[in-house]
Structure 1
Amino acid sequence: MKTEKVGDASFETWTVDEVAQAFDRNEIVLIDVRTPQEYMFEHIEGAMLMPLAFFRGDKLPDQVEKRIVFHCGSGVRSERVARAAIAAGVRHIAHLDGGFAAWKEAKKSYIGTNMATGAPQAVTPE
C-alpha cells in the first residue's frame, strides 16, 4: 500500500491483493463509485454502490471499525472521490489501484451478467 499525506489526512492506494484480503476478513467497506449501469453489468460481490455523480463526502460513515476503500473501473474516479472525501474532512481514506480492471486482471471473482439470460452470475476466472 502506498500512503500519501494530504494536510493532516492519509490517502492510501491499495493493491488488488490488499483489498481482496482485507475484504475477505471483513476489515473494509468497499465502495464502487462507477455508474449504476456499470455496477449492474458487473461488480465485486459485496461492494456497495455510491456513484461519483452523487458522492457526498460529508455523508460517509466514520471508520472506527472498518476502513473505507473506493474503487471504479480504472482507479481514476476512485482517486477523485477519495480526494473529495479528504476535502470533506475524512482523515483516512483509500482507493483500489487500477480499479475493477485490475481486479479482473488479477483473476479475482466477481458478479457478471449472463449474456444469454441477462441474469447476474458469479464469475470465477481461472
Structure 2
Amino acid sequence: MKTEEVGRSTLETWTVDEVQAAYSKGEIVLIDVRTPQEYMFEHIPGALLLPMAFLECASLPGQSDKRIVFHCGSGVRSEKVARKCIEEGFARIAHMEGGFGAWKGANKPYMGTNMATGAPQMVK
C-alpha cells in the first residue's frame, strides 16, 4: 500500500491483491464510483455502487468497523473521490490502484455479462 500525507489526512492507494485480501476477510467496504451502466455490465460481487456524480462524502459512514476503499475503471475517478473526501474532513481514505481494469488484469473474480444471452455470470 502506498500512502500520501495530504495535510493532516492520509490517502492510501491499495493494490488489487491488498483489496481482495481485506475484502475477503470483511475488513473493508468496497465502493464502486463508476456509472450504473458500467456496474451493470461488470462489477466486483458485493461492491456497493455509489456513482461519482452522486457521491456526498458527508453521507458516508464512519470507518470504525470497516475501512472504505473506492474503485472505478482505471483508478482516476476513485482517486478524485478519495481526495474530495479528504477535503471534506476524512482523516484516512483509500482507493484501488488501477481500478477495475487492474482487477480484471490480475484475473480476480467478477460478475460479468454473458454476451450471447445478456445474463449476468461469474467470471474467474
* TM bucket, shorter chain: over 0.9
Which residue does 2:85 correspond to in 1? 85
The match for 2:49 is: 49
* Structure 2 counterparts to residues 27-66 of structure 1, below 5 A: 27-66=27-66
Partner residue, 2:17: 17
Structure 1: runs of 5+ lacking an equivalent: none
- Letter of the structure 2 residue corresponding to residue 14 of structure 1: W
Distance 1:88 1:31 in 2: 18
State the alpha-carbon separation in 1 of the partners of residues 106 and 62 from structure 2.
30
> For structure 2, which runs of at least 5 residues remain unmatched after alignment?
none
TM-score by length of 1: 0.97
**Matches of 2:90 and 2:121, distance apart in 1:** 35
User: Partners of 2:47 and 2:35 in 1: how far apart?
Assistant: 13
Deviation at 1:88? 1.2
Write the deviation string for residues 30-80 of structure 1: whole angstroms up to 9, x where unpaired. Answer: 000000000000000010000011011111100001000000000000000
CA distance in structure 1 between the partners assigned to 2:79 and 2:59 by the alignment: 18
Alignment root-mean-square deviation, CA: 0.5
How far the C-alpha of 1:107 sits from its partner, in A, is 0.3
* Cross-structure match for 1:108: 108
Over the matched positions of the two proteins, sequence identity in percent amounts to 68
State the AA in 1 paired with 2:116: A
What CA distance in whole angstroms lies between the structure 2 residues aligned with 1:69 and 1:27? 10
- Aligned pairs, number: 124
AA at the equivalent of 1:97: E
Once the two structures are TM-superposed, the CA of residue 90 in structure 1 deviates from its matched residue by 1.1
Q: Tell me the distance in 2 between the aligned counterparts of 1:30 and 1:90.
A: 16
Letter in 1 for 2:40: M
Report the TM-score, using the length of structure 2 for normalisation. Answer: 0.98
